[in-house]
Amino acid sequence: MNIRQFFARPTLWGALVLFSLAVAGCGPAPLGTGWPSLSLLNNVCDGKTTKTIVVAYNDRIVQVNPADGTSVVLKDGNCVNRPPDDAGKLRAWDFRPTGNKQFFVAPLPLDDGKMLAISYDQRLYTIDTTLAQATVADGRTIDGYSGHAVTDMVASADFIYVALNAKDVVALDRNTLDVKWKAPTDHGVWAKPLLVDDTLYFNSLDHFLYAVDAKTGAQKWKLDLQGAVTGTPLFANGKLYIGSFARQLFEISTDGKILNQKPTSDWVWGTPVIDNGILYVGDLGGSLYAFDTANNLQQVWVQKVAAGAIRATPLIVGDVIIVGARDQKLYWLKRTDGTPINGSDGKPLVRELTAPILSDLLLIQPGDGVDIPKPYIVVSTTSTTQLLVAYTLDNGESKWSYNFQ
């Protein structure tokens, strides 16, 4: 499949999303083109650690309390709440740079209460996690590069690795953010790179999986995966696992050899997950697969779960699989065979939201800076009026909802 074929299937939602991003290359992407990027952040203020949800979407980055879905209150340098606004309302932690910037990428936590954000037009912002202020208000560019950023960054002790949607991966000096080296590709890199020891792995729309030296960028090998690749590789048991738009799942050695490959019914976008030796992955046709990594990726089961695409990585907790899909539904499934788990009413435990679920799910555990009585699952949608929803893991009870103000 060549790059033209990659965009040639208008009946699939993936092609539409990718095309909308691609044509936005001449200017800002339309708001709502992508999906929220979520991450957890440990905030330390006045010696106390609290965990918050960081959401990057559309024109802003916000922090949300995972216990009740309220906006994190903006504080000053002494960890005291900032004065209320003219309406007497406490000010929320909300980062919105000037210039109509947009965000598809979760900020990267740094040292000393800072995080690094990158906007769609590749401007870098070093943001104070307490004050919601950037060190340089207008940010800075990646020297010598123009284009867009649509996937998360990765950091080592010395470098920050940035994948570019036009082509190439660049390594920035962690302190100065100057470009130290680049690893060339023929097409865009739309998945977060994977750092394992001294090797950086990443894939591209040019069909190749690359392995480069993490310090120099020198290529160690590259491997043709027969189709465009948009998911981050999974490293487990000393091997790499990844799916592609060739409708294939691959098991790959760290020296670049395909050990096993198995077909899927449709394109694989997301990153697989492995639990107790079983690999789980969804495809854009709404099917969920289980493969045995100890037995040459022998298929354990496959289930048609959703009426829409499964982009997000399945969440595995004990004997339960949680899957979000583009059909706006969240599914509770049995890990043993992928069949539905029934709720107290005897019907399959499914929760329907108001917009597609495209982002990975978050599991929030009690303790460790979060005051909740039991584990919560936090799911995001593409709608700013129902951006985040928290459900209890055990029975799917809705606990809170968050929307942009």
The Cα angle at residue 57 between residues 61 and 160, in degrees rounded to 5: 70
% the chain with pLDDT above 70: 92
Predicted confidence (pLDDT) at residue 250 exceeds the cutoff of 60: yes
CATH number of 144-224: 2.40.128.630
pLDDT tens digits, 145-154:
888 999 999 9
Mean pLDDT of 180-190: 95
According to DSSP, the residues that pair with 280 across neighbouring strands are: 273, 290
Report pLDDT for 43.
85
Mean pLDDT of 21-40: 61
Predicted confidence (pLDDT) at residue 224 exceeds the cutoff of 80: yes
Predicted confidence (pLDDT) at residue 212 exceeds the cutoff of 90: yes
Q: Distances from the Cα of 255 to the Cαs of 9, 185, 240, 242, 280, in angstroms? A: 34, 19, 10, 15, 24
Report pLDDT for 296.
97
- Global model pTM greater than 0.85: yes
| DSSP structure string for 240-252 | EEEEETTTEEEEE
pLDDT tens digits, 58-81:
999 999 999 999 999 999 988 899
Predicted confidence (pLDDT) at residue 8 exceeds the cutoff of 90: no
* Identical fold between 32-141 and 144-224: yes
Q: How confident is the model at residue 33 (pLDDT cuts 50, 70, 90)?
A: low
What are 10's two structure tokens? 């208008």
Task: Quote the CA–CA distance of 369 and 163 in Å, as a whole number.
Answer: 32
Report pLDDT for 260.
98
Task: Specify the CATH number for 32-141; select among 1.20.1270, 2.30.30, 3.40.30, 2.40.128.
Answer: 2.40.128
What's the whole-number average pLDDT of the chain? 91
Half-sphere exposure of 47 (CA within 13 A, CB side): 0
Q: Are 83 and 127 in contact (CB under 8 A)?
A: no
What residue spans define the domains of the chain? Answer: 32-141, 144-224
Predicted confidence (pLDDT) at residue 32 exceeds the cutoff of 60: no
